[in-house]
Amino acid sequence: MLLEFSKDQLQIVIARYSENIEWLKAFNRFAIVYNKGETIVDGAVVLPNIGREGHTYLTHIVRNYYDLPEYTVFLQGSPFFHMKEGADCAKLADIINESLTKKVPFKGFAWFRLRCDRLGRPHQMSDPASKGKWSGWGKDIPVGEVYEKLFNRTPPEQFIASAATGLFMVRKDRILTRSLEFYKTALSIIEADPCDEHNTGHAFERLWQVIFNGSKAINP
């Protein structure tokens, strides 16, 4: 067994579209899959295909705000690509085990961190190889604008994103630092840009560490 915890201690939330999630069998007793693709996944919760993984994560929090485990792990359907070279189920389990044992409040799983300005720069949204893959191609990322909508305050000039790929785990108290209404507002911001035409979902990827930083002082 890769993880030695109870369901009261840990839950793994998977945002899936079309990825092969056979790897998830190693974590089945902890996992809930939200499926946005056309392929049927047994036991999965079906969601409309909008808002990237941020829509999935926020939907989960809103629906389960009063019934969260000690830790929640949020993952895309194919997480290992953005982790350190050679990452697999065993290494993912090692990170989760260590973080939970040490009671780390927030942990991003990507092998890198990003520093960006209010427009998400530098970014690769105009990469010719990605043209046509999403509606917001060629546009900036509204990190500062989304921050201001979330917290009703002037955004900082720079952000350091430690969970830029939408792969992270967070402790319950960090989630509950923000109210249920906060997460409903966050979800409505994403739902207002369902096809991510304005890169709202990408902005959330650069704001998770702020949303879950535990600071009540920035609550709106």
For the record, the structure tokens of 153 come out as: 């305050």
For the record, the structure tokens of 64 come out as: 């389960």
Bond into 156 cis (ω within 30): no
Q: What is the pLDDT of residue 27?
A: 94
Q: What is the pLDDT of residue 139?
A: 96
Q: What is the pLDDT of residue 150?
A: 98
For the full predicted model, state whether its pTM sits above 0.85. yes
Q: What is the pLDDT of residue 215?
A: 97
Q: DSSP letters along 82-124, please?
A: GSSTT--HHHHHHHHHHHHHTT-SEEE-SS--EEEETT--S--
Q: What is the pLDDT of residue 83?
A: 93
CA-closest candidate to residue 31, choices 1, 75, 63, 64:
75
pLDDT in tens, the chain (220 residues): 688 888 899 999 999 999 999 999 999 999 999 999 998 899 999 999 999 999 999 999 999 999 999 999 999 999 999 999 999 999 999 999 999 999 999 999 999 999 999 999 999 999 998 888 889 999 999 999 999 999 999 999 999 999 989 999 999 999 999 999 999 999 999 999 999 999 999 999 999 999 999 999 999 9
Q: What's 126's DSSP letter?
A: T
